[in-house]
Amino acid sequence: MNRPTVICKTAADLRLPPNLIDYAATRAVFSWEAVRAELAGLPGGGLNIAHETVERHAQGACRDKIAFRFLGVKTTRDIRYGELSRLTNRFANVLKSLGIGKGERLFLLSGRIPELYVTVLGSFKNGTAVSPLFSAFGPEPIATRINLGEGAVLVTTELLYERKVAKIRSQLPTLRHVLLVGEDGQATSVPGTLDLVTLMAQASDDFDIVPTGPEDLSLLHFTSGTTGTPKGAMHVHGAVATHWATGKYALDLHADDIYWCTADPGWVTGTSYGIIAPLLHGVTSIVDEADFDAERWYRILAEEKVSVWYTAPTAIRMLMKAGAEIAKKRSYPNLRFIASVGEPLNPEAVWWGKEVLGLPIHDNWWQTETGGIMIANTPAFDIKPGSMGRPLPGIEAAIVKKDEEGKVSPVDTADTEGELALKRGWPSMLRGYLHNEERYGKCFAGDWYLTGDLAKRDADGYYWFVGRADDVIKSAGHLIGPFEVESALMEHPAVAEAGVIGKPDEMVGEVVKAFVSLKKGFEASDALRLELLGHARKKLGAAVAPKEIDFLPALPRTRSGKIMRRLLKARELGLPEGDTSTLESS
């Protein structure tokens, strides 16, 4: 289908006046000092995320407002800001009574249950840094991360402990305490562990936040492992300034929003935007404890009256795969803004939003390392489907190139491909990779933080993702970004997902090879393969189009939903698969 290259916004597309109206003027006057002035700070000086997210509201007008609505499989539980304050105080008291101090590290292994959210925020109150792990990890990746992070405490559920941790407990020498929650929040009695439910019941509702400053460690987040072994990115309490600004400008949060971030807190999106940013803005968040299910998701959007929805390309592709009929069974009059992060968002997906839900999907770009959204499409501005949008106020981005001496400098000409870089110094920038100074050092060149992603900027200042530096294909003198090829394949009605790699070739260096999975109702066949090859050639030209296409039932992805091209490549070439700790097993 031929569609326009720009989705123009009119006043009718905006149900509320957006927080970011004049892009140039807001950027010109923006300062991080002004954002910090919006934060309360600790009463005695200092800064603590839990004070900004919870206490400020619990002591003010939002006390009785719902902070989180947990949609369990059987039950729904609301936690209001006032209750969140008491519960997190209790948890901070539990840590204190166990002798866990400031700067120590707590690991979390659980589904999206209330205890997870209380643990994260209560740990901040105690000055304890948190590292949330994805609950589907097996024993190996759990042990590697806890040992790397020298975890002193683990909070998990009885079930996960018995399945995954009990057998490796002796391999976790730094772990002093394991706190367990039983099924449905019940008490437990498992040898070698403490029962969190009883400890919480005995703890006091009052706690004075341990003084922390902007440079104190708050979160340790492991990267997705898409390109190699996951790295432990260290984040600080001062990052909260980024979460405040991006919650306002990129997610356009307004006080009355019902907000749903579908990311799991095992990944940075689930903490920065599933916990911190919405609380900062005093909105109500929906948390779905269940796994993805298209029917259920549409029901949540409709019945919970979600107004702002932050999700990921992988989820959107799954909804697309399930078919528009399920979406059309309901209407979504409250929904006013949809955003996505994590992978390139194919133009097809942006348009799907508009056609099926009545709103385009707004792509934004960031990484575990950046701690918050850096480049975004925001509500007031036209969308160019396929583009990640423009740098937010306070963020200076550039396309940089390295010269022969290794000196990095920005490229001024539009539409030139190069590495995406950010001017260092935004508040949520990582402060290091845990125990990997050397790798951290490589992220910087002078004033620039180098992202490892290739992109280009057009004459209007919009950024376009080309591919990860590691994934770019060099074929007969051309540099080919997998995203462009995948997006063209996705435009074919049979294609649900596409992953593209370079396959070594004596003649041209690398040939483009695509792996596709099909939508419901389509069968793999030689005829379809030929049709797809022809479709891609017509869209992309012979130099860029894939020469080979293989069908797969599903593409390998990380548990955070990213297509693992390095695995497609290793499997194609019969090479070792490397670190697969984050590979989704189903």
The residues binding ligand ATP (CB under 6 A) are: 223-228, 230-231, 341-345, 363-365, 367-368, 388, 451, 453, 465, 468, 560, 562
Q: What is the C-alpha to C-alpha distance for residues 521 and 494, in angstroms, rounded to an integer?
A: 8
Question: Shortest distance, CB of residue 7 to ligand ATP, whole angstroms?
Answer: 16
Question: Shortest distance, CB of residue 340 to ligand ATP, whole angstroms?
Answer: 7
DSSP 558: B
Residues between 1 and 20 with contacts to Mg ion, criterion CB under 5 A: none
CB closer to ligand ATP out of 68 and 249? 249
CB closer to ligand ATP out of 433 and 515? 433
Strand partners, 363: 340
CB closer to ligand ATP out of 127 and 141? 141
CB closer to Mg ion out of 70 and 273? 273
Question: Shortest distance, CB of residue 419 to Mg ion, whole angstroms?
Answer: 13
Strand 258-261 vs strand 463-468: parallel, antiparallel, or unpaired? unpaired
Strand partners, 66: 80
User: Near Mg ion by CB under 5 A, which window of 23-31, 38-46, 219-227, 394-402?
Assistant: 219-227
Question: Shortest distance, CB of residue 12 to ligand ATP, whole angstroms?
Answer: 27
Question: Shortest distance, CB of residue 330 to ligand ATP, whole angstroms?
Answer: 27
Question: Shortest distance, CB of residue 376 to ligand ATP, whole angstroms?
Answer: 9
DSSP 111-152: -S-HHHHHHHHHHHHTT-EEEEE-TT--HHHHHHHHHHTT-S
CB closer to ligand ATP out of 388 and 434? 388
Pick one of Mg ion, ligand ATP, none as the site partner of residue 238 (Cβ within 5 to 8 A by kind).
none
Query: In this structure, what is the dihedral angle of CA atoms 198, 201, 206, 211, given to the nearest 10 degrees?
Result: 20
Question: Shortest distance, CB of residue 82 to ligand ATP, whole angstroms?
Answer: 34
Catalogue the E-assigned strands of 74-143.
Answer: 76-80, 105-109, 129-133
Question: Shortest distance, CB of residue 471 to Mg ion, whole angstroms?
Answer: 11
Pick one of Mg ion, ligand ATP, none as the site partner of residue 175 (Cβ within 5 to 8 A by kind).
none
Pick one of Mg ion, ligand ATP, none as the site partner of residue 465 (Cβ within 5 to 8 A by kind).
ligand ATP
Pick one of Mg ion, ligand ATP, none as the site partner of residue 341 (Cβ within 5 to 8 A by kind).
ligand ATP
Strand 232-236 vs strand 463-468: parallel, antiparallel, or unpaired? unpaired
Pick one of Mg ion, ligand ATP, none as the site partner of residue 257 (Cβ within 5 to 8 A by kind).
none
Q: What is the C-alpha to C-alpha distance for residues 456 and 57, in angstroms, rounded to an integer?
A: 41
Question: Shortest distance, CB of residue 15 to ligand ATP, whole angstroms?
Answer: 24
Pick one of Mg ion, ligand ATP, none as the site partner of residue 560 (Cβ within 5 to 8 A by kind).
ligand ATP
Note the maximum CA span of the chain: 72
Question: Shortest distance, CB of residue 565 to ligand ATP, whole angstroms?
Answer: 10
Pick one of ligand ATP, Mg ion, none as the site partner of residue 344 (Cβ within 5 to 8 A by kind).
ligand ATP
Strand partners, 473: 480
Q: Which residue is nearest to Mg ion (CB)?
A: 223
Strand 444-445 vs strand 448-457: parallel, antiparallel, or unpaired? antiparallel
**DSSP H or E segment with residue 212:** none
CB closer to ligand ATP out of 56 and 112? 112
Dihedrals φ, ψ of 34, to 5°?
A: -65, -35
Instruction: Enter the tokens of residue 334.
Output: 């409250």
Phi-psi sector, 405: left (phi>0), alpha (psi -120 to 50), beta: alpha
Strand partners, 521: none
Question: Shortest distance, CB of residue 264 to Mg ion, whole angstroms?
Answer: 17
CB closer to Mg ion out of 105 and 221? 221
How many CA atoms, within 13 angstroms, populate the side-chain half-sphere of residue 45? 0
Dihedrals φ, ψ of 463, to 5°?
A: -100, 140
DSSP 294-358: HHHHHHHHHHTT--EEEE-HHHHHHHHHH-HHHHHTS--TT--EEEE-SS---HHHHHHIIIIIS
Pick one of Mg ion, ligand ATP, none as the site partner of residue 225 (Cβ within 5 to 8 A by kind).
ligand ATP
Beta carbons within 10 angstroms of residue 247's beta carbon:
25
User: Near Mg ion by CB under 5 A, which window of 220-228, 349-357, 483-491, 504-512?
Assistant: 220-228
348 Cβ contact list (under 8 Å, min separation 6): 320, 487, 490, 491
User: Near Mg ion by CB under 5 A, which window of 171-179, 218-226, 439-447, 457-465?
Assistant: 218-226
CB closer to Mg ion out of 119 and 227? 227
Instruction: Enter the tokens of residue 196.
Output: 């969190």
Residues between 559 and 578 with contacts to Mg ion, criterion CB under 5 A: none
Instruction: Enter the tokens of residue 446.
Output: 């002078």
Query: Are 577 and 571 a contacting pair, CB within 8 Å?
Result: yes
Dihedrals φ, ψ of 155, to 5°?
A: -110, 125
CB closer to Mg ion out of 248 and 566? 566
**Residues at the contact surface with Mg ion, assessed by CB under 5 A:** 223
